[in-house]
A and B are shown apart, each in its own frame.
Chain A
Amino acid sequence: GQQVMQIPQYQHVQEGEDFTTYCNSSTTLSNIQWYKQRPGGHPVFLIQLVKSGEVKKQKRLTFQFGEAKKNSSLHITATQTTDVGTYFCAGGRDNYGQNFVFGPGTRLSVLP
């Protein structure tokens, strides 16, 4: 079946350093969404990418969708302690974009 992988599993950074997590799918995705889950909380939607090669920015966060629509990345510039949490990518597995398979997540720790 369709698999979505993420690397790294864990990342510890010093506040102010950059951070990147990568998401890879075994099959072509209809779209990809990114979510953030704070410790003890529930996943919160960050962004969605639909088009091949799409790049979107949200303040210090930059999201990319690969040309083949099989991989994606999330880059955070100058991390802050508020960035702590687990970042999940979710690959759309149907053309309606409502059925997703989640990656295992990347847990980010930011040391002050």
Chain B
Amino acid sequence: GAVVSQHPSRVICKSGTSVKIECRSLDFQATTMFWYRQFPKQSLMLMATSNEGSKATYEQGVEKDKFLINHASLTLSTLTVTSAHPEDSSFYICSASQGRINSPLHFGNGTRLTVT
């Protein structure tokens, strides 16, 4: 089945530093990947849609200069949290679709970011 790998699974960083999270589709090509943020015991909040070879589409209220997304290939999208602050601490998850109409989303295992 379709597998999405997300790395790292956990990261602790100091306030003011930047953190890069990778999302890879291992056995399929993903022209579109999605980035979510999930607070404890809450739902998935879509942050942005990552499109291969073009700019990401950000949801309302999400700062594009804060959360940089790059989708350089059909199997890799990265999310960089720039100048991280404690309020950015959260669980970040990516998902990818195989691109067919109504195909399911395949999720990565998520990244637990803690900013101290």
**A interface residues, Cβ below 8 angstroms from B:** 1, 30-31, 33, 35, 41-45, 48, 50, 88, 90, 92, 96-105, 107
| Residue of chain A at shortest CB distance from B99 | A98
Identify which of residues 74-116 in chain B touch chain A, using a CB-to-CB cut-off of 8 Å.
93, 95, 97, 99, 101-110
Do residues A33 and B104 form an inter-chain contact, with CB atoms below 8 A? yes
| Bound form: Cα–Cα A98–B95 in Å | 11
Instruction: Report which of A31, A50, A88, A107 forms a contact with B44, defined as CB distance below 8 A.
Output: A88
Give the contacting residue for B43; candidates A30, A42, A104; CB below 8 A.
Answer: A104
Q: Are B104 and A43 in contact (CB under 8 A)?
A: no
10 more A-B contacts (CB under 8 A) besides A98-B103, A102-B43? A1-B60, A35-B105, A41-B109, A42-B93, A44-B107, A50-B102, A90-B105, A97-B103, A98-B101, A102-B45
Which chain B residues border A100 with CB–CB below 8 Å?
A: 46, 105
Per the bound structure, the CA–CA distance linking A35 and B110 in Å amounts to 15
Give Cα A85 to B45, complex, Å: 18
B59 to chain A, nearest CB (A): 9
Q: How many Å lie between the Cα of A107 and that of B41 in the bound state?
A: 9
- Give the Cβ gap from A56 to chain B, nearest Cβ, in Å: 13
Interface size class of B (residues with CB under 8 A): 20 to 34
- B107/A97 in contact, CB under 8 A: no
A31/B105 contact (C-beta < 8 A), A104-B42, A104-B43, A105-B43 known: no
B interface, CB within 8 angstroms of A: 32, 36, 41-46, 49, 60, 93, 95, 97, 99, 101-110
- Indicate which residue in B60, B99, B105, B109 contacts A33 across the interface (CB closer than 8 Å): B105
Q: Which of A1, A31, A43, A50 lies at the interface centre, i.e. has the most chain B CB atoms within 10 A of its CB? A: A43
Asked if A102 contacts B46 (CB within 8 A), the reply is yes
Query: Could you tell me if B46 and A92 are in contact, using CB atoms closer than 8 angstroms?
Result: no
Cα(A44)–Cα(B43), bound, Å: 14
A101 to B41, CA, bound (A): 17
Tell me whether A43 and B44 are in contact (CB under 8 A).
yes
A33 to B104, CA, bound (A): 8
Distance of B36 from chain A, by nearest CB (Å) = 8
Can you name the residue of chain A whose Cβ is closest to the Cβ of B95? A43
